Amino acid sequence: MSLKSIFGANTMSRFLLMRTVSGAGLVLVVCLATFVAVTLLPGDAANFVSGRSASPERLAEVRERLNLNDPVAERFFRWGLRAVQGDLGPALTSPRQVSEIIAPRLRNSLILASIAAALLVPLAVATGALAGALAGGSMDRGLSVISLVLLSMPEFFLGTLLAYWLGVKWHLFPPIALFDAAQGPWSNPAVLVLPCLTLVITNLGYPARIIRANVAEAMSGRVVLTARLNGIPERRIVWKYALRNCLAPGIQVISLTLLYLLGGIIVVENVFQFPGIGTLAVEATQQRDLNVVLGLVATITVIYALVMLLTDTLIILVTPKLRTLRF
């Protein structure tokens, strides 16, 4: 029975299948590369666990416990098998399981990132479309200078300023995200305000600029010119022709921005001491807890692959000429 007979001639399903396979491959390769990098370190995990002055017997014992004597391939295979079931093995610097440590942190980060994205995407589309529709005008130039300045600011700098002015000086929002990692930020939603604000401001410039460029391009196109000549109101032209035309690049830009958000979150979480995967990544790095680092890489890669899959699917759905294309 061929694949084609399972999925039929439906190009959409075939496309999704190919993308899923490629995404899975990506996760596999990234995890393998990280696993090897972490394994080939001078002094293995046993050294980190038991300290450099540990006796040879203790080292041997730890090595046995962590199965460090088995071949790398076998260990990766076993790690992968368990990882698929959500078990990322034991942490090196605390008596807990890696998945147990990552899960609440990941949820906190996802909450933060989702709120930031929910604010960021409409804001970027609105400012980008506005500037693009009025390309060359004073509004456009003003917005472009603002977006440039925002692009140029390191996240930690803006975060520190906001924490000081809005948190310490004016007492508007908590400058530190103090809440129990296990309870989650909803136990004190105010702690989300400043990290979200920082993420939105520093990540707004890039997608807004690109959407602006696309809208400006569409506005100078032949379709819009014809529409204008036919007396269709400008507002309708922007919405119906210009924006629709840049839907596909827009989605791509937004998905990229979401991935940038995932990176920006590392800095922002550390500025506000937000207990998410960003602070965890830094803690694990500093403590050389390589199992946690590996677990984080695996988790983030899966998220990346999912976002990419979703993006590609959306682009196909909104672009009529791609919908009928054969892959």
33 touches other proteins by CB under 8 A: yes
Q: Least separation, in Å, of the C-beta of 171 and other proteins?
A: 6
Yes or no: say if 19 and 309 are a contact pair by the CB < 8 Å rule: yes
3-state secondary structure of 90: strand
Cα(246)–Cα(243) distance, integer angstroms: 5
* Segment interacting with other proteins, rule: CB under 8 A, options 76-84, 111-119, 269-277, 312-320: 269-277
The yes or no reply on residue 281 touching other proteins (CB under 8 A) is: yes
Among 73, 81, 148, 225, binds other proteins (CB under 8 A): 148
How far apart are CB 56 and other proteins at their closest, in Å? 17
Q: Which of 56, 95, 136, 231 binds other proteins (CB under 8 A)?
A: 95
Token pair of 98 as six digits: 């890696």
Q: Which stretch binds other proteins (CB under 8 A): 13-21, 43-51, 66-74, 131-139?
A: 43-51
Q: Is 260 in the site for other proteins (CB under 8 A)?
A: yes
| Spatial distance between the Cα atoms of 157 and 198, rounded to a whole number of angstroms | 10
Instruction: Rule CB under 8 A: choose which of 98, 102, 133, 163 binds other proteins.
Output: 163
Give, to the nearest 10 degrees, the angle between helix 193-219 and helix 247-272: 160
Contact stretch for other proteins (CB under 8 A) within 82-90, 118-126, 225-233, 268-276: 268-276
Does 288 bind other proteins (CB under 8 A)? Our answer is: yes
CB-based burial label for 58 (10 Å; 0-12, 13-18, 19+): middle
| 15 contacts: CB under 8 Å, gap ≥ 6 | 312, 313, 316, 327
- Is residue 176 within 8 Å of 273, Cβ to Cβ? yes
For the CB of residue 1, give the shortest distance to other proteins in the complex, in Å.
27
The alpha helices in the chain, defined as continuous H runs, are 3-7, 11-39, 45-50, 56-65, 72-84, 98-133, 138-151, 155-162, 193-219, 222-229, 234-237, 244-245, 247-272, 277-286, 290-318, 320-323
CA gap 113, 203 in Å, rounded: 12
Residue span 193-232 as binding mask against other proteins, x where in contact by CB under 8 A, dash where not: ----------------xx--xx--x---------------
Helix, coil or strand: residue 97: strand
175 binds other proteins (CB under 8 A): yes
Output 34 or 99, the one with its CB closest to other proteins: 34
Tell me if 266 contacts other proteins by CB under 8 A: yes
91 near other proteins (CB under 8 A):
yes
Is residue 149 a contact point for other proteins (CB under 8 A)? yes
82 binds other proteins (CB under 8 A): no
How many residues in the shown chain lie near other proteins by CB under 8 A?
Answer: 83
Q: Whose Cβ is closer to other proteins: residue 10's or residue 242's?
A: 242
For 260, other C-beta atoms within 10 Å of its C-beta total 16
Does 7 contact other proteins by CB under 8 A?
Answer: no
Q: Which one of 1, 2, 5, 51 is in contact with other proteins (CB under 8 A)?
A: 51
Q: Does 65 bind other proteins (CB under 8 A)?
A: no
**DSSP 8-class letter at 233:** -
